[in-house]
Structure 1
Amino acid sequence: MMGRFAALGFAVFLSACASTPTSVKTDFDPGTNFARFRTYSWIARPEGVASPLVQQRIVDGVDSRLQRNGWKLVPNGDVHVAARVTTSERQTANTSSVGYIGWGGFGPPATGARVDTYEVGTLVVDMYDGSRKQAIWRGSASGTLDSDTARMTALLQAALDKMFAGFPPGGAPAK
């Protein structure tokens, strides 16, 4: 009976680790009037991406969110957009106690340890005022990468949704 509860608790723990939410942060220059911007252009497409398909998903995702706010993609736009991706390996040590050994269930607990390695990716999107050549907005999203393409695409879209949820800062989107 006790083994079933331990197994259930371990399964819940693993599922909680597997669904770790993406951390999203944004920052902007409070002195910038975003309502005056109508166009944008890419000055740096996401580098550090292993696949050109993932790079295109990022660009398409940013484009769709900016265009939803009435911005148009043009050469040398009002706002210059740059994106980059970094990845790093992380490790976590997991220990578990499988119960007591010995006669009658008494004795020291039997424990085990395992080191899990996983990859964390960070997407950073920067925007610059094209005329002033100054940074005006930054969004970043970090999370555990998934080897399944469909899940990774869903995680990317959810991260971009969070990143652009309050965009543009300071008011309603320009139309």
Structure 2
Amino acid sequence: MKLLSKITASIGLTLALATVSFAQQVKTDYDHNVNFGQYKTYSWEKVRTKDPLLVDRIKTAVNSALAAKGWTEVPSGGEVEVFAIETMQNQQTLDTFYNGLGGGRRWGFGGFGDATTTVETYTVGTLVVDLFDAKTEKLIWRSSSSDTLSDKADKNTKNLNKGVNKMFQHFPPAPPKSN
């Protein structure tokens, strides 16, 4: 019975770790000296991706997030310039399952079993969105979102929208504190 509970606990831990390792990750940084309250308009400069179908999806997601924050897209001459870069990278995980019994005697004899290792290859997509002050041309805000890609375009679009919403969740940053 102990063996069964150990196997169950091991499987549960493996599933929990797999869930964490495939969870969407968002990282954001910004220039803490910039007052984001001064900006209300933005223009798109460039979206770089290997998949041309993603250009409109990325723009739509970011436009929606910025509009929700009161910012307005203008065709050119915005106070902020928006750049986006999307990359894809194949990654692998190795999972080993030991299905043996042990025991043994004084001299280490006894026990039997084997180990099975499986390799899982998956693709991680990362979107980086940069905001530059149009006058100074300095980077003022950057956020990235990474997630495992699916074979289904609609699921990837849903995850893209979810990632962009997380990126802009605490946007714009609070005004700088005066000393």
What TM bracket, shorter-length normalisation? 0.7 to 0.9
Counterpart of 1:155?
159
Compare the two structures and name the one with the higher strand fraction.
1
> Does 2:125 correspond to 1:124?
no
Q: For 1:19-98, list aligned pairs within 5 A.
A: 20-45=22-47, 47-52=48-53, 54-74=54-74, 75-98=76-99
Cα distance in 1 between the residues matched to 2:96 and 2:119: 9
Query: Could you say what secondary structure the match of 1:131 adopts?
Result: coil
Identity between Structure 1 and Structure 2 (%): 35
Scaled by the length of structure 1, the TM-score of the pair is: 0.82
Q: Secondary structure at the match of 1:13?
A: helix
2:119 to 110, 115, 123: 115
Normalised by the size of structure 2, how large is the TM-score?
0.80
- Gap regions ≥5 residues in structure 2: 103-109
How far apart, in 2, do the equivalents of 1:147 and 1:18 lie? 18
Q: Distance in 2 between matches of 1:126 and 1:162?
A: 15
Q: Counterparts of 1:120 and 1:62 in 2: how far apart (Å)?
A: 20
For residue 109 of structure 1, give the secondary structure of its aligned residue in structure 2.
Answer: coil
Could you give the per-residue CA deviations for residues 133-163 of structure 1, whole angstroms, max 9, x where no partner exists? 1110001111211112232222212211110
Q: State how far apart, in whole Å, the 2-side matches of 1:164 and 1:118 are.
A: 27
Bigger Rg, structure 1 or 2: 2
CA distance in 2, matches of 1:155, 1:163: 12
CA RMSD across the alignment: 2.4
For residue 165 of structure 1, report the CA deviation from its aligned partner. 0.6
Unaligned runs of 5+ in 1: none
Q: Does the 8 A contact of 1:79 with 1:128 survive in 2?
A: yes
